[in-house]
């Protein structure tokens, strides 16, 4: 039984013994004792005051005395107003560390065959541009959330829906057709997704020129945007694509092929993957069929211009377009079709969409529409809405080519990591390959940790220079802590010192605090799964690393003359490293053994 469960049950027994009232243990409030007070676990006494008919202090003392007399783990207590601070026997913490040592997968639950199935959708790129900084946050969150759900014993299918059709795709295609002169990734030396993205920017540039010309000729800005020849041609191209025009379809396949090759390279560098990829070009027809079915059943309605709409005013929302007047579909239609296909393919218990919070309304509508169409899963979908990520210089815009490409940012992070690590002597004695591998690990670790440590619901500013710092709340600081511990363990091995279960009966307050932190890891993983929050794990691991470094500074390990104390500290060090590695793995971050 875990300590918290044991204490809750003991407090329940104390209340029954003292006041003859049966109290469910889940009604008892526990919290970690604040650092400024003596104790390990604090019981909130206020709920028992009416039962005792005494002051909070008197009630706390009575319960504390009962626990010391009847509960083996409780060594002492003190009462501060309405809070009962319990001190746990040091022998308990020694045994707790031994228990952590025994479990190679400490904090990670096994996945049973009949465990709930979570489908987690993330990435969702468009094939008209490369992945950028915003996509990085999406991919890192989606991958980490998936790993955390698996750590909580759930089955997980990681999925990606590729937006491979639509007017934005046609813009890149048309610009390449008009201005590309047959350029390919091979002869340009560019990654395919970067090449196609360049033509998306080129379309916008030429389109704005045409708008300006039409406004000068007397048209309103709204009319000019509609009447610009480039936009009209792009819309004709989209219609031709939906009508299976062979020339347009061939161009589409060719350019999308370039993009997929580029995406795959970026995903590999980021260390993210997918179990199933869906393509909107395959799902939109399913969505159109569902909309047509809803139209026949009177769920939706058709306007005089032939467009199809859903009236959601009864749900407190507005009206939503589902099919344009020319019969082409919109994102909502495609998402309906994708949802249907997914539930046909998998027995999903929970569908989680990792999509930015600017799409809150979209997923609110999707949930209602799926429910109206009779899909039982509609009400239960989860939109994991995360905040936007910007650079210190401000917001990025794809059309204007002001985004930071994921590949460029990864290159910059790795190069910066290499320069700083060399400067600090972290790569002394490394071969060129070892330097490259270490720089990649540190650079990506810095990038991932800096993004994942932030509450995902909040907007954030990513500062590359701040992220690569070997001090403070950063990935490199945690990675260095792991490498430091591995160095200690290697030296112990060289000295033929075996790490064995501890037999100490007394340990210091600092050591007790570290063990207590280790015992919290399973609860942190559980809470991160419940809240869909990698930030909980990131900040827990940072605090563990920070406390370990203070311990390392204050205590001898290999030079400790007391053999039992030395062995305990080695055991403690080894398990701190184990939990750091396990926690960082859930964030998709590797930790080095040397640094």
The pLDDT value given to residue 397:
46
The whole-number average pLDDT for the span 59-86 is 94
In terms of residue numbers, what domain contains 78? 3-88
- In this model, does residue 158 exceed pLDDT 90? yes
**Residue 594 within a domain:** no
**Residue 94 within a domain:** no
Same domain, 564 and 473: yes
The pLDDT value given to residue 403:
66
CATH number, domain containing residue 483:
1.10.730.10
The pLDDT value given to residue 50:
87
Same domain, 321 and 280: yes
Q: Among 366, 390, 414, which residue terminates a domain? A: 390
Q: What is the mean pLDDT of the chain?
A: 92
The pLDDT value given to residue 430:
81
Q: Please write the tens of the pLDDT for every residue from 97-135.
A: 999 999 999 999 999 999 999 999 999 999 999 999 889
Same domain, 499 and 380: no
Percent of the chain having pLDDT more than 70? 98
The whole-number average pLDDT for the span 56-65 is 94
b/e map 495-534, b = 16+ CB within 10 Å? eeeebeebebeebeeebbbbbbbbbbbbebbbbbbeebbb
b/e map 29-56, b = 16+ CB within 10 Å? ebeebeeeeebbbbbebeebbeebeeeb
Q: Please write the tens of the pLDDT for every residue from 540-589.
A: 999 999 999 999 999 999 999 999 999 999 999 999 999 999 999 999 99
- Answer with the residue of higher pLDDT: 427 or 401: 427
**Residue 510 within a domain:** yes
Q: In what order do the strands lie in the sheet with 83-88?
A: 30-32, 41-44, 83-88, 74-80
Same domain, 38 and 156: no
What SS3 string covers 71-139?
Answer: CCCEEEEEEECCEEEEEECHHHHHHHHHHHHHCCCCCCCCCCCCCCEEEEECCCCECCCCCEHHHHHHH
Same domain, 354 and 210: yes
CATH number, domain containing residue 383:
3.40.50.620
Same domain, 356 and 416: no
Q: Please write the tens of the pLDDT for every residue from 470-520.
A: 888 999 999 999 999 999 999 999 999 988 887 777 788 889 889 999 999
| Residue whose structure tokens are 């869909």 | 532
CATH number, domain containing residue 14:
3.30.1360.70
**Residue 117 within a domain:** no
Q: Please write the tens of the pLDDT for every residue from 313-362.
A: 999 999 999 999 988 888 899 999 999 999 999 999 999 999 999 999 99
**Residue 106 within a domain:** no
**Residue 282 within a domain:** yes
Q: Among 340, 361, 390, which residue terminates a domain? A: 390
Q: Please write the tens of the pLDDT for every residue from 377-420.
A: 888 899 999 998 887 765 444 444 456 889 989 998 999 888 88
Same domain, 156 and 180: yes
The whole-number average pLDDT for the span 442-461 is 94
The whole-number average pLDDT for the span 230-235 is 96
The count of domains in the chain is 3
The pLDDT value given to residue 393:
66
Same domain, 70 and 199: no
Contacts of 452 (CB under 8 A, 6+ apart): 140, 141, 144, 534, 535, 538, 587
Q: To 10 degrees, what angle do helices 563-586 and 133-151 make?
A: 120
The whole-number average pLDDT for the span 243-268 is 97
- Answer with the residue of higher pLDDT: 399 or 266: 266
The whole-number average pLDDT for the span 300-315 is 95
β-pair type (350-356, 382-386): parallel
Same domain, 297 and 173: yes
Same domain, 448 and 373: no
Contacts of 63 (CB under 8 A, 6+ apart): 11, 14, 15, 18, 43, 45, 48, 84
Same domain, 379 and 413: no
**Residue 152 within a domain:** yes
The whole-number average pLDDT for the span 291-303 is 95
- Answer with the residue of higher pLDDT: 152 or 31: 152
10 Å Cβ neighbour count for 277? 13
- In this model, does residue 27 exceed pLDDT 90? no
The two tokens of residue 161 are 């829906």
Residue 590's closest CA among 393, 373, 417? 417
The pLDDT value given to residue 399:
43
Q: What is the CA radius of gyration of the chain?
A: 29
Percent of the chain having pLDDT more than 90? 76
Same domain, 315 and 430: no
**Residue 556 within a domain:** yes
């Amino acid at each position: 039984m875990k300590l918290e469960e044991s204490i809750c049950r003991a407090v329940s027994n104390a209340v029954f013994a003292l006041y003859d009232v049966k109290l469910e243990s889940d009604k008892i409030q526990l919290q970690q004792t604040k650092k400024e007070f003596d104790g390990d676990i604090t019981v909130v006494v206020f709920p028992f005051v009416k039962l005792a008919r005494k002051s909070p202090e008197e009630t706390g003392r009575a319960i504390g005395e009962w626990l010391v007399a009847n509960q083996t783990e409780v060594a002492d207590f003190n009462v501060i107003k309405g809070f009962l601070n319990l001190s746990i026997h040091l022998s308990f913490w020694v045994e707790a560390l031994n228990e952590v040592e025994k479990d190679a997968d400490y904090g990670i639950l096994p996945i049973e065959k009949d465990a709930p199935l979570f489908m987690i959708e993330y990435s969702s790129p468009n094939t008209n541009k490369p992945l950028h900084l915003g996509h990085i946050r999406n991919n890192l969150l989606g991958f980490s959330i998936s790993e955390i759900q698996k750590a909580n014993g759930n089955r997980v299918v990681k999925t990606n829906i590729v937006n491979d059709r639509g007017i934005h795709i046609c813009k890149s295609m048309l610009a390449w057709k008009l201005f590309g002169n047959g350029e390919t990734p091979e002869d340009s030396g560019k990654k395919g997704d970067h090449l196609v993205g360049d033509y998306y920017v080129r379309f916008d540039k030429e389109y704005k020129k045409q708008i300006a010309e039409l406004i000068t000729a007397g048209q309103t800005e709204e009319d000019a945007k509609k009447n610009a020849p480039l936009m009209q041609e792009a819309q004709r191209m989209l219609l031709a694509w939906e009508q299976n025009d062979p020339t347009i379809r061939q161009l589409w396949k060719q350019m999308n092929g370039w993009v997929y090759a580029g995406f795959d390279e970026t995903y590999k560098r980021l260390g993210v993957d997918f179990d199933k990829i869906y393509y909107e070009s395959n799902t939109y027809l399913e969505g159109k069929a569902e909309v047509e079915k809803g139209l026949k059943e009177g769920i939706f309605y058709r306007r005089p211009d032939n467009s199809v709409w859903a009236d959601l005013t009864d749900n407190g929302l507005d009206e939503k377009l589902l099919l344009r007047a020319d019969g082409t579909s919109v994102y909502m239609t495609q998402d309906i079709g994708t949802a249907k296909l997914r539930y046909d393919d998998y027995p999903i218990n929970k569908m989680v969409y990792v999509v930015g919070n600017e799409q809150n309304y979209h997923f609110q509508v999707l949930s209602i529409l799926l429910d109206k169409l009779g899909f039982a899963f509609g009400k239960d979908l989860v939109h994991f809405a995360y905040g936007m990520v910007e650079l210190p210089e401000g917001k990025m815009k794809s059309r204007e080519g002001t985004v930071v490409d994921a590949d460029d940012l990864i290159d910059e992070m790795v190069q910066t990591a290499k320069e700083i690590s060399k400067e600090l002597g972290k790569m002394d004695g490394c071969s060129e390959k070892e330097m490259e591998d270490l720089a990649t690990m540190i650079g990506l670790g810095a990038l991932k940790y800096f993004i994942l440590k932030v509450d995902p619901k909040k907007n954030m500013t990513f500062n590359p220079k701040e992220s690569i710092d070997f001090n403070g709340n950063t990935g490199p600081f945690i990675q260095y802590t792991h490498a430091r511990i591995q160095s200690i363990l290697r030296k112990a091995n060289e000295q033929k010192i075996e790490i064995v279960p501890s037999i100490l009966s007394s340990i210091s307050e600092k050591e007790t605090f570290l063990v207590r932190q280790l015992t919290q890891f399973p609860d942190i993983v559980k809470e991160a799964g419940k809240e869909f929050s990698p930030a909980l794990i990131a900040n827990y691991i940072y605090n563990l690393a920070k406390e370990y470094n203070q311990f390392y500074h204050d205590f001898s390990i290999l030079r400790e003359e007391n053999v039992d104390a030395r062995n305990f500290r080695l055991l403690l060090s080894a398990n701190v490293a184990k939990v750091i590695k396990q926690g960082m793995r859930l964030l998709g971050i590797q930790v080095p053994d040397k640094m």
